Chains A and B, each alone.
Chain A
Amino acid sequence: LAKTTQPISMDSYEGQEVNITCSHNNIATNDYITWYQQFPSQGPRFIIQGYKTKVTNEVASLFIPADRKSSTLSLPRVSLSDTAVYYCLVGDIRGQFYFGTGTSLTVIP
């Protein structure tokens, strides 16, 4: 079971690009990397998933280096509504994903 390590909290000004890095040194060959966003009193919301290199969707980009021991979630031009907790998960998509403690992002006007 690959353990993930993320910063506990981050602050960013509105309009800036935010990069949240996750460390997963013991990631297995079959493991994928998934990021979720959670607002207070709501269930987490899926953001993006990847295996290697770069994945981009309409919300974010996910950068994964060749050794896959870390990953970086990139949020372009954040707004106040992006204030939330962001979770990095690592696991086999045929199995289960386990949540860590997440990164609390605060966007400042």
Chain B
Amino acid sequence: NAGVTQTPKFQVLKTGQSMTLQCAQDMNHEYMSWYRQDPGMGLRLIHYSVGAGITDQGEVPNGYNVSRSTTEDFPLRLLSAAPSQTSVYFCASRRTGLGYGYTFGSGTRLTVV
């Protein structure tokens, strides 16, 4: 199994540009989430989904959109990139039930100049 796959691994954007961070999982997990991690900080929840067609906002949703058209994919869209969005972005998925934690992808390191 590939687990959670994120692309790209690195990206540099100019202020005002838009882009989509891709996330795919092959474990048939119901739950998927996007987190961002700034240097020396913990992870902050951006958006999450409890199943295909269902998404909701986390702690820091402004400037980001998500959709969940399939169980496997959960892309994160940056609408108009700002330097404050420079961060490492992690996608994660988990199955429902007790004892199952999130499986995280390897992250996308995004720099907005």
Contact = CB atoms under 8 A, between A and B. Distances in A.
Interface string B20-60: 00000000000001010000011111001010000000110
B98 A49 contact: yes
Contacts of A44: 43, 90, 92, 102, 104
B101 A43 contact: no
A98 B96 contact: no
Given A96-B33, A96-B48, A96-B58, A101 B41 contact: yes
Nearest to B90: A43
Question: What bracket does the count of chain B residues touching chain A fall in?
Answer: 20 to 34
A93 interface: yes
Interface residues of A, number: 22
Interface string B88-108: 001010001111111111110
Contacts of A47: 101
A41 B104 CA distance: 12
Contacts of B107: 41-43
Given A43-B105, A43-B106, A98-B45, A93 B35 contact: no
Contact of A51 (B44, B59, B98, B103): B98
A97 B101 CA distance: 10
A13 interface: no
Contact of B43 (A41, A46, A49, A99): A99
B92 A96 contact: no
Contacts of A46: 100-103
Interface of B: 4, 33, 35, 41-45, 48, 50, 58-59, 90, 92, 96-107
15 contacts: A36-B101, A42-B106, A43-B104, A43-B105, A44-B90, A46-B102, A47-B101, A87-B43, A93-B96, A94-B50, A98-B59, A99-B35, A100-B42, A101-B42, A102-B42
List of 9 A-B pairs having minimum Cβ-Cβ separation, nearest first: A46-B101, A43-B104, A99-B43, A99-B42, A101-B42, A43-B90, A96-B48, A49-B99, A102-B42
